Structure 1
Amino acid sequence: MMSSAPATDRASILLVDDMEDNLDALEAVLGGLGEPLVRAGSGEEAVNALQEREFAVVLLDVVMPGMDGFETAASIRRHDRSRDVPIIFLTGTGTGTDRGYAFRGYATGAADFVAKPFDPWVLRAKVGVFLDLHRKNRQLQRLLARDREQLDTLAERLASIESCLSTGRAPDTAELRAGVARMEEALRALRSGR
């Protein structure tokens, strides 16, 4: 199943767990979302993957040998590229309800906790929310970049007209009309949100 989002809005989902069966279960549940799924078998692999590509969300097992989920989350937050990627901690039954555990998780950057065994519909819904937020954020970034570009163009045209006026050189009437028309067009585009 392919996602209906434009290719530029797609980002992978990082699945981090030291147990292959758990990764298989996550893939089975999330595969229908139509987004690329990337597996990591350790915290170290997860941190490396986040340095190589963009992710919309990370599903991170808390209990892993070596670098556990909390240490992995702290490491993720230290890097500019991955600092703002939402993390959903996956916890064994009971561990997610321990107040100290939850505090430590949120302190290291958790956006949410999901207890194992997880309800597939709940997990898909939670991941879907983060995918939608990622798409909207990418769309907003594109709109801001376009608006910045249009404002830069307007500033250049205004500077050109000011330069002509300050040097006493009268701009060619046709040149002036064309410049004003381009500025008005750019302003209309900014106002209409195109």
Structure 2
Amino acid sequence: MSPNLADAGGILIVDDMEENLIAFEAVLSPLHQHLVRARSGEQALKAMLRQDFAVVLLDVRMPGMDGFETAANIKRLDQTKHVPIILVTGTESGADYAYRGYAIGAADFIAKPIDPWVLRTKVNVFLDLHRKNRQLARRAAAGDADRLTDITERLAQIELLLRNRPETDTAGLADRIAEVERAVETLLPGGTGTE
């Protein structure tokens, strides 16, 4: 199945060093995704508020707002909290880096020097997840629209019963109203999902 471009999300690459940004772009270009650069945590946050990303590749060591602080800010915002973050660490990083990263919500780590195949594979997993989540959301929205159409038709039938009958069949009307109520409950948050 070929990926739908409407379901594709960009990749945000955050690093303060130009040569690292160029290297990441070269490694990720075979994925044919929109790549966006940010040279600081502040730029990364601004970019994330402007567009949807499937994954963020975030360097831990940056001047000013470091990668941990940037990741924590990304996870605090409702609009961006579900975007997976891959933290890029140096070889000198220890177990405390992993603990700290996972504690703030990082999805994965990759250490420098970077193996291009490993990086592409990890990023591609998150791109696939993003694509599938978008497809599921679209299907759910279409299903809700179908159910709303059905509910509207049922309400129209009830209205016709009320208008056209001087002596309303209260038992039949109560049954139809109960059907509509069950259908509406399935659309509400926390609904049972069954009619």
TM range (shorter): 0.7 to 0.9
Amino acid at match of 1:62: V
Q: Is the 8 A contact 1:94 1:115 kept in 2?
A: no
Alignment match, 2:104:
108
Q: SS of 2:33's equivalent? A: coil
Q: Equivalent residue of 2:107, what SS?
A: strand
Task: Give SS of 2:19's match.
Answer: helix
The letter of the residue matching 2:149 is T
Q: Is residue 14–residue 55 contact of structure 1 (8 Å, CA) maintained in 2?
A: yes
- Please list every run of 5 or more consecutive structure 1 residues that lacks an aligned counterpart in the other structure: 171-194
Q: TM (normalized to structure 2)?
A: 0.82
- Shift of residue 167 of structure 1? 3.3
**In 2, are the aligned partners of 1:92 and 1:117 still within 8 Å (CA)?**
yes
**Divergent runs of 4+, >4 A:** none
How far 1:81 sits from its partner (Å)?
Answer: 1.1
Matches within 5 A, 1:88-127: 88-95=86-93, 98-127=94-123
Q: Which residue in the other structure is 1:150 paired with?
A: 146
Matched, 1:164 2:156: no
Aligned residue pairs, count: 165
Cα deviation, residue 165, structure 1: 1.6
Q: CA deviation at 1:7?
A: 2.1
Q: State the Cα deviation string for residues 137-180 of structure 1 (Å, max 9, x = none).
A: 0000100000000000000000111111233449xxxxxxxxxx
- The letter for the 2-side match of 1:56 is A
1:26 corresponds in structure 2 to 24
Q: Once the 2 structures are TM-superposed, how far is the Cα of residue 77 of structure 1 from its aligned partner?
A: 1.1
- Deviation digits for residues 9-59 of structure 1 (CA, Å, limit 9, x no counterpart): 111100000011111110000001000000000000000000000000000
Aligned mates of 1:116, 1:28 — CA distance in 2: 15
SS at match of 2:11: strand
Provide the rounded CA distance (Å) in 1 between the counterparts of 2:89 and 2:77.
Answer: 24
- Percentage of matched positions with identical amino acids: 57
SS of 1:167's equivalent in the other structure is helix
Residues 112-151 of structure 1 show CA distances to partners (whole Å, capped at 9, x for unaligned) of 0000011100000000000000000000010000000000
Letter matched to residue 77 of structure 2: H
Counterpart Cα distance in 2 of 1:21 and 1:34: 20
Structure 2 residues without counterparts, runs of 5 or longer: 167-195
